[in-house]
Copies of this chain bind each other. A is one copy, B any other.
Amino acid sequence: MFRHQKELQFEVKVDRPDPVFARQVQEVLGGQFGEMTVMMQYLFQGFNCRGEEKYKDMLMDIGTEEIGHVEMLCALISQLLDGATPAEQQKAAEDPVTAAIMGGINPQHLLVSGLGGLPTNSNGVPWNGSYIVASGNLLADMRSNLHAESQGRLQVARLYHMTTDEGVRATLRKMLARDRYHQYQWMAAIQELEEKNGVVVPASFPPEAEQESQPEAYEFWNLSEGTESGEGLWAKGSAPDGTGNFVYISNPVPKGQIYEPLIPATELHHDLNGETIEK
């Protein structure tokens, strides 16, 4: 069960409204790597967690924090939109320059939300559940979390340069700090889990079943012309878990057959000539 406190986690004060910038901020609220994503991802991982209590508790701590980040971004967007009105759009029709600036506004900030944050990205595409994952495998999911915080912090950093409003920037700095901590946090969790289970996900697939395909687990296939790819760590040396050495296949040859499909029954109406073969 959850509870709400009226204070925001960090202060959100905007020096002056900027409805065009409000549109850009939507990316880090309702975009692929926005706060809605990390909030829902950590909550679902926590709700479904079947691992040790410390992981579940930690996921619930951070998932709960992220609900408050969605709250902060809505407060930020609302302030950026303060004072924007349909009438300004109307006046814009008379002054071409203003008109043009208003053209960069998200029309839904006026028409749909009445000057509030939307559950959508910077192009107005609604947030959706396929942005998140909660697989039950802790290592896989924490790699996902590290990746989400990396993309999220990258976007906040880019956004930071798109405004000179010191109020906005102060809020973004708090988010950059938290995203920094959250990257550390997932790295630490990953380190723990890799030490226990090994680095390959999932760790528990029966090794004997992998025996047969052992060579293919260490081969780099050079399928794009040029051999610059041979210069990376992935192409020489040994696997991080020391189970084998990498092999660079410069001229890879396919190992499979040419697949020749059966002709389906007439009822599927492929309308082919010749023999119809039903298996």
Contact = CB atoms under 8 A, between A and B. Distances in A.
A38 interface: no
A256 B124 contact: no
B50 A262 contact: yes
Nearest to A196: B273
Contact of A137 (B93, B106, B270): B270
Nearest to A236: B188
A258 B87 CA distance: 29
Interface residues of A, number: 204
B99 A51 contact: no
Interface string A106-117: 111011111111
A126 B130 contact: yes
Name the residue among A162, A231, A232 with the largest chain B CB count within 10 angstroms.
A162
Contact of A267 (B117, B147, B161): B161
Contact of A101 (B49, B99, B118): B99
A225 B105 CA distance: 35
Interface in A197-256: 197, 199-205, 209-210, 212-229, 231-235, 237, 239-240, 246, 254-256
Nearest to A185: B234
Given A123-B108, A151-B144, A231-B54, A213 B97 contact: no
Contacts of A124: 121-125
A233 B137 contact: no
Contacts of A180: 200, 210, 217
Contact of A97 (B100, B121, B231, B257): B100
B24 A58 contact: no
A212 B173 contact: yes
Interface string A145-169: 0110111011101111111100001
Contacts of A169: 209
A155 to B, nearest CB: 5
17 contacts: A1-B65, A1-B254, A2-B4, A3-B224, A11-B257, A27-B111, A31-B112, A48-B115, A61-B222, A67-B67, A72-B256, A83-B278, A85-B265, A85-B268, A99-B104, A173-B213, A188-B237
8 tightest CB-CB pairs across the interface, nearest first? Answer: A103-B104, A114-B136, A123-B124, A48-B116, A8-B256, A100-B100, A119-B129, A126-B129
